Amino acid sequence: MAARRLTRRTFLQGLATGVAAGPFVSTPARAQDFNWKRFQGKELFLLLTKHPFIDVLEKHISEFESLSGMKVKWETLPEIQARQKMTVEMTASSGGIDAFFTSLHVEKKRFWKAGWYHPLNKFLDDRTLTSPDFDWNDFTPGARAGVTQPDGSISALAAFVDANVFFYRKDLFGAKSATPPKTLADLEPLAQKLHAPPGVYGIVLRGLKNANATQYPSILFPMGGTYLKDGKGVLDSKEQIAALDLYAKLLRQYAPPGVVNFNWYECSASFMQGQVAIYMDGVNFASQFEDAAKSKVVGKVGYAVLPSGPGGHFSPIYITGMAVSSQSRSKEAAYLFTQWATNKTNMVRELMAGVGVGRTSTWDNPDVKAKPKMPADWYQAYQASLKIGRQGLPEIVGVTEYRDIIGVAIQKAIEGAPAAQVLAQAQKDFQDLLNRTES
């Protein structure tokens, strides 16, 4: 599906239906007030996470040091270890971390409630601290919503924005005269049509507890389902039941054996090995499909937006960002780094490396268009998905516990338990969790 070009009019409409515009920080006249070397001589310490975005960023940190005159030290850890270190440092009030890479779909509400994020609103509005070409409004509405808390405070600057998209085997679709589904009503008949085991299975989605929670909203949201209403859990709504019925049926009838225990690795591996016709997951997995050293389907994969449903058209998105620690002794200097890390130049570098970003301007960059790493329909599907992006998980303190609760329900439904029954138990457990953590 071709992405509709983002005009000024449609972008402004997106702001009206998404989040408030927030601070506006792009005024050329400000250039004389801003100085990258304002904190020359300072030393910053960053806590980073192993991630494709960070892999690209680390190669250019010396550029920031030259630009700012500051010295940067950093430690890069796997996500769980980084979160553990962050917790230890902040609980001890050490002040040793100035800025950090944050996975907002897990940490957003928890770190905010703990007071670990320094709000960036005033920094963004300060013409002496924010470069005139940074442009907060260049980030998509979904990206800005993802870093903004219920009280309006901005906890981070969006870095990598993952969106769920539709992967499909162009050769298999062509042989059946099939096209990517426009609606969920088209999805099951299509999976059935392409299902020819043991050679090819119709579809694969994550089945494993917790991991499945990030892919389930690809069906839940367009079915009209949500997580919360008026602060209460609604996991047992009729929309939830219909969504889980469909998700479980697709995997029970048209997925490879053992899918109930598939995480992203097993899903992507089965797709790369040519065993599956349809796969829906995070856009960033696509880079390995086009890697001849790993994939048997290089050049055979098509990319499209997810199908819509009776509840609308959405793509679940998951956002990482660069945040300033509330305990940093050099908050303004740390903000300069987060600003540089998420500027337009670095976002172009990320996109050219096949890493997704939430800025709108990068997509029309001449270098991205002239030397794309990924196929054209990957960029089109990704850009279109960002425009319909919606936070993929409930923004609660106990998001990990929620993932376990719904994950168990999804697994049981795949195994044949009635959706209404497992969701009734999930709703009880979810509301108990909300009562404990959200007051």
Which domain, by its residues, includes 382? 8-161+318-391
Domain final residue, candidates 391, 409, 424: 391
Q: Are residues 258 and 300 in the same domain?
A: yes
Q: Are residues 190 and 262 in the same domain?
A: yes
Q: Are residues 378 and 398 in the same domain?
A: no
DSSP lists the bridge partners of residue 47 as 75, 100
The dihedral over CA atoms of 379, 384, 387, 390, expressed in degrees to the nearest 10, equals: -90
Q: Are residues 300 and 406 in the same domain?
A: yes
How far is 307 from 218, CA to CA, in rounded Å?
9
255, 420 contact by CB (below 8 A): no
Q: Judge whether 3 lies within some domain.
A: no
Q: Are residues 172 and 143 in the same domain?
A: no
Q: Are residues 195 and 291 in the same domain?
A: yes
**Cβ neighbours of residue 42 under 8 Å, at least 6 residues apart?**
70, 71, 330, 333
Q: Are residues 301 and 184 in the same domain?
A: yes
What does the pLDDT read at residue 32? 58
Q: Judge whether 413 lies within some domain.
A: yes
DSSP state of 306: P
What does the pLDDT read at residue 215? 96
| Residue 110: exposure state from Cβ atoms within 10 A (0-12, 13-18, ≥19) | middle
Which mean pLDDT values do the consecutive 10-residue runs of the chain (439 residues) have?
40 38 44 87 97 94 98 95 94 95 94 97 96 94 93 96 96 97 98 97 97 97 97 97 98 98 95 98 90 94 98 96 97 98 95 87 86 88 92 94 97 98 98 93
106, 156 contact by CB (below 8 A): no
What does the pLDDT read at residue 3? 39
Q: Judge whether 356 lies within some domain.
A: yes
Domain count, the chain: 2
